[in-house]
Amino acid sequence: NDQEIVGSLKQKLAKIFEESLRLTVPEEVDIDPSIAICQKPEFGDYQCNNAMGLWSKIKGKGTQFRGPQPLGQAIRENLPTSEIIDSCTIAGAGFVNVVVSRQYIAKSIENMLVQGIETWAPKLQVKRAVVDFSSPNIAKQMHVGHLRSTIIGDTIARMLEFSNVEVLRRNHVGDWGTQFGMLIEYLFEKFPSGEVTSSQDIGDLEAIYKASKQRFDNDPKFKERAQQAVVSLQAGVQNYRDAWANICEISRRGYEKIYQRLGIHLEEKGESFYNPYIPRVLDELGEKGLIEESDGARVIFIEGKTIPLIVVKRDGGFNYASTDLAALWYRLNEEKAEWIIYVTDVGQREHFEMFFAAASRAGWLPIEDKDEAKSKCKATLVERGKSKEWTDNELDEIAEAIGYGAIKYADLKNNRKTDYTFSYDQMLNDKGNTAVYLLYAHARICSIIRKSGADMEKLKKKGSLDLAHPDERRLGLHLLQFSEHVEESCLNLLPNVLCEYLYNLSENFTKFYTNCQVVGSSEETSRLLLCEATAIVMRKCFHLLGITPVYKI
């Protein structure tokens, strides 16, 4: 039963083609099925692209084939019978185009409707992953880069969790280092009677940071005291420890508010957590001969870089790099993570390149390798007369879902490698590729189902799908492709792939809904089920993107 081959539709086809490829070319030739979605739907749904590559491996070696095209023919003929494939054609240089059976699509959707969307989760190799994201710095501003990391990191975590990976969501807060010397010294001076160690009311930390930095840069005597304060803090002197803990707590309350508003959960393991591990990690690196002396500091040289990675400063202190090395060691050896994902802004590229290179040299790595939106939405809803229809609570909830959804989606739909411009007008537009448009689309489907008066639970169990109209079939196939898009989005860490999938889903739905009458047609049951399946997949996408769906608009 092909329903039971695990994995996405694409993976299932790969399995089927693997059998055929094995039968088609000699044992000693490596095969690696390459299946892609057809760029031109008139050719088919999927394409097996192996013929050309295999041809170059077997030609001139006494093969019976006369070129890639006949090889493609043979691949087609050797395909095992499968309920997934409706028909195959050969195009160009042996490309095998596959049309997926519409009965198979229908049956798969029926199964999902009964067993739940979890059965469409992609199967990944990884069991446990660390996602290091958000990671603001104590007493410094949480800037747009941190916010973006928070949103993208959360979605990556959600996608992996959906794919049954255990995710350790880590907030690598900058809560350690020399800035605390000057901060604490400055605060001790400003509050001589000890408020620093206990009171939450010591003023605006960012301003205090700036003022203390100014003192540090301009007053050599203060600078000396600040450096001494670092030593006291690291040695564990009580009032220094208390002041440090209090400052961290003040900052923490600030950013926790933001996490709460965005509905994001993560676990703080700040830089200070890894501090005790640094000496033994550096010992290990030293034993491997990686650490050298340079200008009084201890460093690791990296091929292709003129400046080495400093791991122990001239004054003997540890730094950001030594902390990240210890954190990596901890995640690999203590937490046994198989995949460690860092979501940070590009400003950190140099640091990460150097530190990954150092970890590779050590043999640790296998290879080198918002409220404004809400109120704007509420205003639009009120303008559209919704305040008369809905209760205040409903208005508030829906405005919040759309507003925050819009911000998140605008962040995620762009390839995370490109920078983008933050614009409320753009992200709150209800036409085009925005969360607002998608949330509307979903709410519209819900209202179609509601208005039909059908008992969905009963239909799900008793009804069946028949995808006779080409737009029904296209939509059904797109639904089946959910899993492989989540998979691709996970493996390449590109949430925008999922955004694009969701956007195309909504477009396919619109096309279907324009051309196929649902309520009152002879295909009503089948079409309502298709609506329901679309709504379920859309909701799962929203959920993975950290967006709250709304059911009416």
Residues that bind ligand ARG (CB under 6 A): 132, 135-137, 172, 174, 324, 327, 342, 344
Nearer to ligand ARG, 101 or 171 (CB): 171
Q: What residue type is 331 in one-letter code?
A: R
Cα(198)–Cα(176) distance, rounded to whole angstroms? 19
Q: Which helix (H) or strand (E) holds 484?
A: helix 482-491
Report in angstroms how near the CB of residue 376 gets to ligand ARG at its nearest.
29
Helix (H, G, I), strand (E, B) or coil at 385: coil
**Of 172, 212, 155, the residue nearest 407 (C-alpha):** 155
Angle between the N-to-C axes of helices 495-515 and 392-413, in degrees from 0 to 180, rounded to the nearest 10: 120
Helix (H, G, I), strand (E, B) or coil at 19: helix
Q: Return the C-alpha torsion angle 403, 408, 412, 413, nearest 10.
A: 0
Contact at 8 Å (CB) between 11 and 44?
Answer: no
Nearer to ligand ARG, 17 or 274 (CB): 274
Nearer to ligand ARG, 327 or 480 (CB): 327
Cα(481)–Cα(497) distance, rounded to whole angstroms? 12
Nearer to ligand ARG, 133 or 503 (CB): 133
At a CB cut-off of 8 Å and minimum separation 6, what does 56 contact? Answer: none
Report in angstroms how near the CB of residue 250 gets to ligand ARG at its nearest.
17
Joined together, the tokens standing for residue 306 give: 């003129």
Report in angstroms how near the CB of residue 319 gets to ligand ARG at its nearest.
11
Report in angstroms how near the CB of residue 231 gets to ligand ARG at its nearest.
23
Nearer to ligand ARG, 174 or 546 (CB): 174
Nearer to ligand ARG, 57 or 351 (CB): 351
| E-state strands within 313-379 | 339-342
Report in angstroms how near the CB of residue 265 gets to ligand ARG at its nearest.
18
Nearer to ligand ARG, 130 or 381 (CB): 130
Nearer to ligand ARG, 343 or 505 (CB): 343
Report in angstroms how near the CB of residue 412 gets to ligand ARG at its nearest.
19
Distance separating the N- and C-terminal Cα atoms of the chain: 42
Report in angstroms how near the CB of residue 416 gets to ligand ARG at its nearest.
15
Cα(78)–Cα(101) distance, rounded to whole angstroms? 18
Report in angstroms how near the CB of residue 320 gets to ligand ARG at its nearest.
7
**Of 388, 483, 414, the residue nearest 12 (C-alpha):** 483
Q: Which helix (H) or strand (E) holds 131?
A: strand 128-132
